[in-house]
């Protein structure tokens, strides 16, 4: 290909990408999603109206650890209304493994029709030809990156908060099944929080499943995630040993189980960036092992300290 054709191809590629980006931003604007950035924090104001004229509102706050290239455009946060019944196929079933305590049918989590909002965060991997030297970080790209975990907070007045609320924050890869990632549920209407190491789709659901049962299931996922991580064998064995200790104590000694989980969290945080990969980037060229393990550990801790069924949403 001649030099002239290369330039034409780059120009055409740039126009196509710019057009796609413009359409994406226009769609976000029509959905009334306004995103701003202040330092290490991104804020989104969401207001969506359905065909019956009912409006659903929420505020999203994402606090990052050491972000690079954090911009509203690069974050690419959008929101949409969903059919609660149609979403059921992406939510867990009611009977969670053969672990229900007591061994009864566990009702499934559901999307509350009072807040049928799904939020997608899919940061853009910017092509090199749109970047100037001022846009690039030390890796030579203009993509969003951060270390360890972010704190994701959804606040809505559309759902009431009660003590022991069953509302939870779920996350899923785009189009795939959702799982519980909640690290806290707070008052001030309803505020659900997650601590994550990677992005995708988020939705608030009501989850009446037994939380001890759910904590055991999350420990299985954490065990698997530690096995998948790129770690020194000694560190891996230490982390797996702490997971096994939590599993052994969770029913008979909750305080001891929480102490073991806190030690696991402390060990991961101490090794992050030294012995454990801890960077996430929009170009997906690295895996944030520390962030994803911490995300599972923190949501496991939340389930261990909650008893579903103590209150209704």
Task: Answer whether residue 161 shows pLDDT above 50.
Answer: yes
- List the Cα angle 68/264/182 in 5-degree steps: 65
Tell me the CATH class for 31-208: mainly beta
Residues 72 and 42: beta-carbon distance below 8 Å: yes
What pLDDT shows up at residue 18?
Answer: 38
Q: Is 16 or 168 the better-scoring residue by pLDDT?
A: 168
Fold agreement (31-208, 213-304): no
Task: Answer whether residue 298 shows pLDDT above 80.
Answer: yes
Q: How far is CA 256 from the centre of its chain?
A: 28
What pLDDT shows up at residue 153?
Answer: 97
Helix (H, G, I), strand (E, B) or coil at 68: strand
Q: Under 8 Å CB-to-CB from 65, ≥6 apart: which residues?
A: 40, 146, 147, 148, 149, 150
- Percent of the chain whose predicted confidence (pLDDT) is above 90: 72
The pLDDT tens digits for 83-128 are 999 999 999 975 554 444 444 556 789 999 999 999 999 999 886 5
What pLDDT shows up at residue 11?
Answer: 37
Residues 114 and 159: beta-carbon distance below 8 Å: yes
66: left (phi over 0), alpha (psi -120 to 50) or beta: left
Mean pLDDT is highest, among 90-99, 152-161, 279-288, for: 152-161
The pLDDT tens digits for 80-91 are 999 999 999 999
Tell me the mean pLDDT in the region 61-87: 97
What pLDDT shows up at residue 149?
Answer: 97
Tell me the mean pLDDT in the region 209-215: 89
Least confident of 123-132, 205-214, 296-305: 123-132
Note if the bond before 266 is cis, omega within 30 degrees. no
Residues 119 and 84: beta-carbon distance below 8 Å: no
Tell me the CATH class for 213-304: mainly alpha
Least confident of 6-10, 136-140, 193-197, 289-293: 6-10
Tell me the mean pLDDT in the region 40-57: 96
Domain boundaries in the chain? 31-208, 213-304
Average pLDDT along the chain:
84
Residues 66 and 150: beta-carbon distance below 8 Å: no
What pLDDT shows up at residue 105?
Answer: 56
């Amino acid at each position: 290909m001649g030099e002239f054709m290369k330039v034409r191809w780059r120009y055409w590629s740039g126009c196509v990408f710019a057009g796609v980006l413009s359409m994406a931003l226009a769609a976000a604007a029509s959905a009334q999603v306004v995103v701003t950035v202040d330092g290490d924090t991104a804020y989104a104001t969401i207001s969506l109206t359905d065909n019956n004229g009912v409006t659903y509102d929420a505020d999203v706050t994402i606090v990052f650890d050491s972000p690079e290239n954090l911009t509203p455009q690069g974050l690419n946060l959008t929101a949409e209304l969903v059919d609660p019944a149609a979403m059921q196929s992406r939510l867990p079933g009611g009977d969670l493994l053969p672990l229900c305590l007591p061994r009864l049918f566990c009702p499934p989590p559901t999307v509350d029709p009072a807040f049928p909002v799904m939020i997608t965060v899919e940061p853009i991997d910017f092509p090199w030809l749109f970047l100037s030297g001022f846009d690039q970080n030390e890796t030579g790209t203009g993509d969003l990156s951060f270390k360890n975990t972010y704190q994701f907070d959804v606040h809505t007045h559309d759902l009431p908060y009660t003590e022991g609320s069953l509302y939870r924050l779920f996350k899923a890869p785009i189009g795939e099944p959702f799982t519980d990632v909640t690290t806290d549920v707070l008052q001030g209407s309803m505020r659900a929080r997650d601590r994550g190491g990677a992005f995708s789709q988020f939705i608030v659901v009501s989850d009446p499943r037994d939380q001890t049962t759910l904590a055991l299931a999350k420990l299985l996922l954490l065990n698997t995630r530690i096995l998948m991580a790129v770690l020194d064998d000694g560190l891996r064995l230490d982390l797996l040993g702490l997971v096994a200790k939590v599993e052994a104590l969770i029913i008979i000694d909750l305080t001891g189980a929480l102490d073991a989980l806190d030690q696991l969290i402390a060990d991961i945080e101490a090794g992050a960036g030294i012995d454990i990969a801890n960077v996430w980037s929009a170009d997906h060229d690295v895996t944030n092992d520390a962030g994803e393990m911490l995300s599972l550990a923190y949501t496991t801790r939340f389930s261990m300290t909650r008893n579903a069924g103590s209150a209704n949403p």
